[in-house]
Amino acid sequence: MIPFRKMNGLGNDFAVVDARTEPFTPTSEEVKALGDRATGIGFDQFIIIAEPPAGETALMRIINADGGEVESCGNAARCVAAILLDERSEPEVTIASAGGPMRAWRAGGGRISVDMGTPRFGAADIPLAEGAGDPQALAFSEPELAGLGPAACANVGNPHAVFFVPSIAAVDLATVGPMLEHHPVFPARANISFVEVLSPGHVRAVVHERGVGPTRACGTAACAIAAVGHHMGRLAGEVTVELPGGPLTIGLEGGRIVMTGPYEVDWTGMLGDGVYTRDPEPING
């Protein structure tokens, strides 16, 4: 059995295992079973902290509740950064991930800031299927999707499509989210966001997360929303992205994305062979 933390960032929740001293490699089926909210721990992502590949503080592996491993997760990065910062006296840490390295530091008020890197807007970087069209005005012809208008796409460590709409309340996320995630135009699938602009510095959004579904918060989606909105001239250089779980502050500094938001430790337990036990008292985060 190995200890784990149940953590969340604005309700986007994780089971986090520190496997730096004792390797832990669950199968896809084990993660799916543990992620089940009726019979398992219940989470959006399973996070493994491992030894870093090239001098970073640690490596973060991210496995979605559907068992598929993905490149990046902003809310999980804040949770992992909090664990690493608690261990050491340095003012910042660097987290390696499949989506690239991320620097993180404390921002005050129980919040963590993470440098999420540079957004990429090219069709091959996102990636889009060959001949898909303009990545910043991607049109869909299906009757269920045509009324949504065009999507603006970016890669912020993972692929995103952002729709600016008059009202997020009018979007049938449960129907169009899965259709868009698995649309042939996205060969690696995509995270899908619908955004209502309240002002250049304040938006409201809902997100269908790749491999998860509708989520209370998605850190990389907030980054993508701010990045594409600023790139298109619709949003300011600092944006509050209001998600169902709460707000994230996204700043664009020198072409890089800095995400700031909270994290929480919900409870702790022990995990092994696809089963878990829950400790009687949580730890402080």
Joined together, the tokens standing for residue 186 give 């996205």
Task: Tell me the torsion sign for CA atoms 240, 159, 13, 182.
Answer: positive
Which one, of 159, 160, 163, lies nearest residue 150 by Cα? 163
**Quick one: CA torsion of 210, 175, 42, 85, rounded to 10 degrees?**
40
**Is-contact 69 98, C-beta < 8 A?**
yes
Q: Annotated binding residue at 37? A: no
CA distances from 157 to 73, 117, 135, 150 (A): 8, 8, 16, 22
29 — alpha (psi -120 to 50), left (phi > 0) or beta?
A: alpha
Q: Annotation-wise, does 8 bind a ligand?
A: no
The catalytic site residues sit at: 73, 218
Ligand-binding site membership of 74 (annotated): yes
**284 annotated as ligand-binding:** no
User: Would the annotation count 191 as a binding residue?
Assistant: yes
Amino acid at position 103, single letter: R
For residue 7, list its beta bridge partners.
14, 265
Which among 235, 264, 230, 262 is positioned nearest to 246, based on CA atoms?
Answer: 262
What is the C-alpha to C-alpha distance for residues 149 and 156, in angstroms, rounded to an integer?
A: 22
Interior/surface letters 55-71, b for 16+ CB within 10 angstroms, e for the rest:
ebbbbbbbbbbebeebb
Burial 200-213 (b: 16+ CB within 10 A, else e): eeebbbbbbbbbbb
Tell whether residue 45 is among the known ligand binding residues.
Answer: yes
Residue 136 among known ligand-binding residues: no
Strand partners, 45: 14, 64
Task: Give binding residues for substrate as ranges.
Answer: 12, 45, 64, 74-75, 158, 191, 209-210, 219-220
Task: Give binding residues as ranges.
Answer: 12, 45, 64, 74-75, 158, 191, 209-210, 219-220
